[in-house]
Amino acid sequence: MVVLDRLWNEINLSYKLSYLKKDSDIEFDFEEVVRQLCLGRILAPWSKAKTCRLAPVSYLGAKEENLFHYYNCLDLLSKNKDSVIKYLNKKLLEKNPQRDTRVCLYDITTYAFESVEADSLREFGYSKDKKFNEVQVEMALAADKDGLPISYNLYRGNQGESPTMVPFIEELKKTYGVENLIVVADKGLNNTANIHCLLELSNNYVLSSKIRSASREIKQAALDPTGRVERLVADGNGVLSKTWFKEIILETKVSYKYPDFAYENNNPEEKRKLEDKLKPYTTKYGNKRKKGTIKRRFIITFSEKRLIKDRIDRQRLIKKAERLVANPSNFSAELKKGGKSLVSVDIDKESLAVDYERISEQELFDGMHVIETSLKDPGEEVLDIYKRLWHIESNFRVLKSQLEGRPVYVRTENHIRGHFLCCYISLVISRLLEYKLRKRDTPIPIGKIVESLNGLRTTKIKLDRLPAIYATTGISE
């Protein structure tokens, strides 16, 4: 832990933690327990009990602590999540005054528990990890254009993705005094309500969408070669591939049901303030709706690399469809899985057939993707902004894999919230370390860094009449 202590001291989180401790009845070394939980999660993401037991004998600088202290500190962290995150952002800005948070990369994912007990936070829902038989929570995460985390929220496990984005963005603007943000998100958050509300709240957006679910006008433009801007792009190995993009602007009238926006903590007052800003109207049936006109800018893109992937993916689906048609009993078995088993469907098995006409239509759009934006920047710059979305996806991979944020073993709501704040702090430190190395032209992923750090062995050497010294082995390029 000694190596990571340098970053821990750089962001001076102990100062903030000591301030939180003053307003509590905690008597143990709160700052040290949080340090061991966060730095220990980077180096060895064990359970709380295992960290308490093994960290002092495995890592120089880790101290022996009572396991109850670990859980008690989660309670205090849970109550102070917002102030801790605000403090971290303040320190990140102090260390990097050029930090640009106007571009907000946003996404949401799920975290499963090895449990079937639902409560006020844990609930069954659509699992992105395919853990449909376990309760879960949802986590929304925002990062800047360099991948440094800005903030996160936790939601109940059955919360839909779409209603979380607009309130989250408004909270960020209010907390950090930002007039507007450029919100970058994937297709799961792209819908008329989010786009229209973001614009009415003076934000810009860069969102992706599927070409196959696009409007007739966009599909026609995609197949028309007129106006395409062709480029050759090199991949990480220097291999060139053909790409092109093409722009189309459509002015569309929109009408939609006013969303039931979701907040981390049920907050009627904030929900009312947002409604006052967006001003939905009420129909004679008592429903809240909004309508308006949006000038929508679409950038249709194509790449040979995506073309190859699309064809491979479809070929796999075609083979599966052909197997189902050849064995109708397998098709019936598919309909008996999950909630589908409770739906009565009368299907003539003899009529099953592969829809080759639909396959041919889909093939026309292989390699194509659609980006929608409100920005007026050149197309290449918009596409470069969208490409940064990989940072947020990478953050989730680090949280889930490297930091082993799931499965989650703590049970009470405060402990769950405290656990995720520790994971978030660990993510900030990990990303800050990677960012510093990139700035020095030595990009190394956190997994490799941890592998190297865990290979170090430090021994205390005490000679007669001389002060103790520490010898470290395992250092290599």
For the segment 304-316, what is each residue's pLDDT rounded down to a tens digit? 999 999 999 999 9
Compute the half-sphere exposure of residue 434: CA atoms within 13 Å on the CB side of its CA. Answer: 21
pLDDT tens for residues 324-354? 888 888 887 777 777 777 777 777 767 889 9
Per-residue confidence (pLDDT) for residue 469, from 0 to 100: 63
pTM score over 0.75: yes
Cβ 70 vs Cβ 47: under 8 Å: no
Q: What angle do CA 404, 450, 7 make, to 5 degrees?
A: 100
Specify the pLDDT at position 281. 96
pLDDT of the residue at 477: 46
Residues of the chain with pLDDT below 70 are: 349, 457-460, 462-463, 465-466, 468-477
Residue type for position 439: K
